[in-house]
Structure 1
Amino acid sequence: MAFLADALKRVKPSATITLTQKARDLKATGKDVISLSVGEPDFDTPDNIKNAAIEAIRRGETKYTPVAGIPELRQAVAAKFKRENGLDYKWQNTIVSTGGKHVIYNALLATLNPGDEVICVAPYWVSYPEMVALCGGVATFATAYQKDDFKLQPEELERAITPKTKWVILNSPSNPSGAAYTHAEMKALTDVLMKHPHVWVLTDDMYEHLVYGDFTFVTPAQVEPNLYDRTLTMNGVSKAYAMTGWRIGYAAGPDHLIKAMDMVQGQQTSGTSAISQWAAVEALNGTQEHLPKFKKAFERRRDLVVSMLNQTRGLKCPKPEGAFYVYPSVAELMGKTAPSGKKLETDEDFVLELLNTEGVAAVHGSSFGLGPNMRISYATSDEKLEEACKRIQRFCAELR
């Protein structure tokens, strides 16, 4: 349709949202559906955070906020980066946006010129390349292979960098694979970036607190302080605090970048919800006593799902270090025929047949840039996960 912008031709709808909606539609017809397609903790927001929001409403904190966020939250963000990541930022070098996605979009919009390249590490979160395209840039790809536990190797990063590269987006722990980088693994990547001073680093640290066992989280500017002046460190409260619907993301970076993002945001959305910001102040400054409970539950669920999937015919599922996703390979099942008579030629065929036959919603790996795999979110109850895995086992056993 000529009325619509040409930019829309460069962008695909989000596969995760599409699959989640398909699952909802099937459920509405009365089918018993277990959705493992959405990246959202099933826990409720902790009470201290909810109470802080209620108190903010009662105090009358219901007006417009400064574009880059209320000073109290920006100070809490700077304190968090110092306390947890060893990163020194003035509060004026922070920004608060309507979710982590909004932070990333603002950074890209404020910096990309036509033809500028942004390296996305496959498998990548579905929105990265689409946001790059909307902002006029070109998404390029560096692959993190299953044989390397979905962790980008330095030679792959080196190969992906060109004179046109402006950003590399590093997401650890990863959506969709759950892979997280140790200090040594991250240092190998930052060593490559030190050789290319024109390349900036955009971190997506949204799953920082969801790491398991004795794994220690690190972020690029912490590992290589010489990258500090060309790194935007992004995080948010959605996952670790079960605050997906509150829509608060935040970042810290060099002064000129934060000012540019502030200007973009000022003409786009202005400041985010005052009530959500006061809730986020409590999330960052208040008790963290919910976190061990969240982590214990997610680790138990990860172990259950990995074990059951690896007992499933034709599936191979690495055990990730963090987030709440697994990314099993379905390569051995390609070419087989589903009970419906449909031949499985792609991982999208696989997840659609799984949904229609067994009522289990997952997301096909090719939408994250690396297949044939599927992403399963284990952010739901043990009972649902066990039943879903039994259905997956049955579906795979019946393929011919």
Structure 2
Amino acid sequence: MAFLADILSRVKPSATIAVTQKARELKAQGRDVISLGAGEPDFDTPDNIKEAAIDAIKRGETKYTPISGIPELRKAIADKFKRENGLDYKPEQTIVGTGGKQILFNAFMATLNPGDEVVIPAPYWVSYPEMVAICGGTPVFVDATLEDNFKLKPEALEKAITPKTKWFVFNSPSNPSGAAYSHDELKALTDVLVKHPHVWVLTDDMYEHLTYGDFKFVTPVEVEPALYDRTLTMNGVSKAYAMTGWRIGYAAGPLPLIKAMDMIQGQQTSGASSIAQWAAVEALNGTQDFIPTNKKIFEGRRDLVVSMLNQAKGISCPAPEGAFYVYPSCAGLIGKTAPSGKVIETDADFVSELLEAEGVAVVQGSAFGLGPNFRISYATSEALLEEACKRIQRFCADCR
């Protein structure tokens, strides 16, 4: 349509939302569909957090809030960074947004000019490159391959940086691969970044509390304090606190950047929901006892899914260190003929044939910039995961 902005031609819709929607539609038609597309914990928001929201409503905390967040939440965020990450931020160096997406979007909107490059390791969360494109920047992709456990090598990062690079986007544990960087692996990357003072770091720590075994989470500024003045550390309550629908993301960083993001947010949405902010205060300040319990459940699900997928013909699935995704390769099925008679030429073909034949909805790797793979979210019950994996095994066995 002629009246729409040119920028829309550079932006693709979210593949994860599309798969979830398609699964919903098929279910509504009476199909038996198991949807493993959405990155959303199946746990309920803990009761203490819900009570805090109810109390806030009863106290009348229902007015507009300051753009960057209520003082109580900004203090809770600064305290969290000190307590859990050893990072010193004043409350005025923090900002609260309507989900992590808004934080990232506003950071790009506040900093990108046409021609500016943003280095993004692939596989990447589907929204990073689209946000960069909307804000006028140019995404530059660097492959973090299966052979390297989906972790970016310092040499590859070094090669991707040019005089035009404005940001390096870092996500550990990763959506979609679940890969998480150890202290030494991250230090190798920060050593490269220290040599390029014009490059800023945007770290997405949304899955910080979801790591397994003995893995210890670290964030870039914790590993390399020299990056403090050019890093935006983003996080939120969605995943660890099972608060996806409350829509609260937050970040801390250099004051000039926070002020610029505040200015953009002031003309966009103003402050996030007052009730959700009071719930987030309780999430950060209140008991954290449920986090290890939920982690243990996720770890069991991960082990089940990895084990069963590796028994499927043509599938290879590494065990990730964190988040609640696996990112198996379906390279062994490319060129095979699906039960429908269609030849599987891409991971998108694999995903659509799997949905058609067995009613299992997953997301194709091409949506995340690296294939032939597919992403499974194991944020659902063991019974459903087991049934889904049996169906995947059967589908793979039926391909010839």
Shorter chain as normaliser: what TM range? over 0.9
* Partner of residue 84, structure 2: 84
Once residues 325 and 298 of structure 1 are traced to their aligned partners in structure 2, the CA distance between those partners, rounded to angstroms, is 10
CA apart distance, 1:373: 0.1
| AA in 2 matched with 1:386 | E
Once residues 152 and 57 of structure 2 are traced to their aligned partners in structure 1, the CA distance between those partners, rounded to angstroms, is 45
Once residues 164 and 332 of structure 1 are traced to their aligned partners in structure 2, the CA distance between those partners, rounded to angstroms, is 39
* Secondary structure of 1:191's aligned partner: helix
* Secondary structure of 1:133's aligned partner: helix
Superposed CA deviations along residues 29-82 of structure 1, whole A, max 9, x for unmatched, are 101100000000000000000000000000000000000000000000000000
Instruction: State percent identity of aligned pairs.
Output: 77
Superposed CA deviations along residues 97-147 of structure 1, whole A, max 9, x for unmatched, are 000011000000000000100011100000000000000000001110100
* Partner of residue 257, structure 2: 257
* Secondary structure of 2:386's aligned partner: helix
The reply to whether residue 136 of structure 1 matches residue 120 of structure 2 is no
* Partner of residue 341, structure 1: 341
* Partner of residue 304, structure 2: 304
| AA in 2 matched with 1:129 | P
| AA in 2 matched with 1:21 | Q
* Secondary structure of 2:245's aligned partner: helix
Once residues 66 and 369 of structure 1 are traced to their aligned partners in structure 2, the CA distance between those partners, rounded to angstroms, is 38
Superposed CA deviations along residues 349-368 of structure 1, whole A, max 9, x for unmatched, are 00011011100000000110
Once residues 229 and 143 of structure 2 are traced to their aligned partners in structure 1, the CA distance between those partners, rounded to angstroms, is 26
* Partner of residue 372, structure 1: 372
CA apart distance, 1:263: 0.2
* Partner of residue 59, structure 1: 59
* Partner of residue 229, structure 1: 229
RMSD: 0.4
| AA in 1 matched with 2:89 | Y
Once residues 96 and 331 of structure 1 are traced to their aligned partners in structure 2, the CA distance between those partners, rounded to angstroms, is 41
* Secondary structure of 1:147's aligned partner: helix
Once residues 275 and 370 of structure 1 are traced to their aligned partners in structure 2, the CA distance between those partners, rounded to angstroms, is 39
Once residues 176 and 34 of structure 1 are traced to their aligned partners in structure 2, the CA distance between those partners, rounded to angstroms, is 19
Runs of 4+ in 1 over 2 A off after TM superposition: none
CA apart distance, 1:275: 0.1
* Partner of residue 162, structure 1: 162
CA apart distance, 1:170: 0.2
The reply to whether residue 317 of structure 1 matches residue 317 of structure 2 is yes
* Partner of residue 113, structure 2: 113
The reply to whether residue 218 of structure 1 matches residue 226 of structure 2 is no
The reply to whether residue 11 of structure 1 matches residue 1 of structure 2 is no
| AA in 1 matched with 2:306 | V
Once residues 227 and 374 of structure 2 are traced to their aligned partners in structure 1, the CA distance between those partners, rounded to angstroms, is 34
* Secondary structure of 1:235's aligned partner: strand
Once residues 159 and 395 of structure 1 are traced to their aligned partners in structure 2, the CA distance between those partners, rounded to angstroms, is 40
| AA in 1 matched with 2:257 | L
CA apart distance, 1:293: 1.1
TM-score, structure 2 as length reference: 1.00
1:66-81, aligned counterparts within 5 Å? 66-81=66-81
CA apart distance, 1:24: 0.7
* Partner of residue 238, structure 2: 238
CA apart distance, 1:342: 1.0
1:263-278, aligned counterparts within 5 Å? 263-278=263-278
* Partner of residue 295, structure 1: 295
* Partner of residue 146, structure 2: 146
* Partner of residue 192, structure 1: 192
Once residues 20 and 192 of structure 1 are traced to their aligned partners in structure 2, the CA distance between those partners, rounded to angstroms, is 38
Superposed CA deviations along residues 214-234 of structure 1, whole A, max 9, x for unmatched, are 100000000000000000000
Once residues 144 and 91 of structure 2 are traced to their aligned partners in structure 1, the CA distance between those partners, rounded to angstroms, is 35
| AA in 1 matched with 2:175 | N
* Secondary structure of 2:184's aligned partner: helix
* Secondary structure of 2:235's aligned partner: strand
Once residues 209 and 319 of structure 1 are traced to their aligned partners in structure 2, the CA distance between those partners, rounded to angstroms, is 17
Once residues 156 and 309 of structure 1 are traced to their aligned partners in structure 2, the CA distance between those partners, rounded to angstroms, is 30
Once residues 33 and 120 of structure 1 are traced to their aligned partners in structure 2, the CA distance between those partners, rounded to angstroms, is 33
Once residues 313 and 345 of structure 1 are traced to their aligned partners in structure 2, the CA distance between those partners, rounded to angstroms, is 16
CA apart distance, 1:196: 0.4
* Secondary structure of 1:167's aligned partner: strand
CA apart distance, 1:345: 0.5
CA apart distance, 1:314: 0.3
| AA in 2 matched with 1:44 | D
| AA in 2 matched with 1:12 | K
Paired residues, number: 400
* Secondary structure of 1:163's aligned partner: coil
CA apart distance, 1:2: 1.0
* Unaligned runs of at least 5 residues, structure 2: none
Once residues 348 and 26 of structure 1 are traced to their aligned partners in structure 2, the CA distance between those partners, rounded to angstroms, is 18
Once residues 152 and 78 of structure 1 are traced to their aligned partners in structure 2, the CA distance between those partners, rounded to angstroms, is 29
* Secondary structure of 1:166's aligned partner: strand
Once residues 258 and 7 of structure 2 are traced to their aligned partners in structure 1, the CA distance between those partners, rounded to angstroms, is 25
TM-score, structure 1 as length reference: 1.00
CA apart distance, 1:153: 0.5
Once residues 121 and 101 of structure 2 are traced to their aligned partners in structure 1, the CA distance between those partners, rounded to angstroms, is 16
* Partner of residue 176, structure 2: 176
Superposed CA deviations along residues 242-298 of structure 1, whole A, max 9, x for unmatched, are 000000000000010000000000000000000000000000000001101110000
* Secondary structure of 1:162's aligned partner: coil
* Secondary structure of 2:190's aligned partner: helix
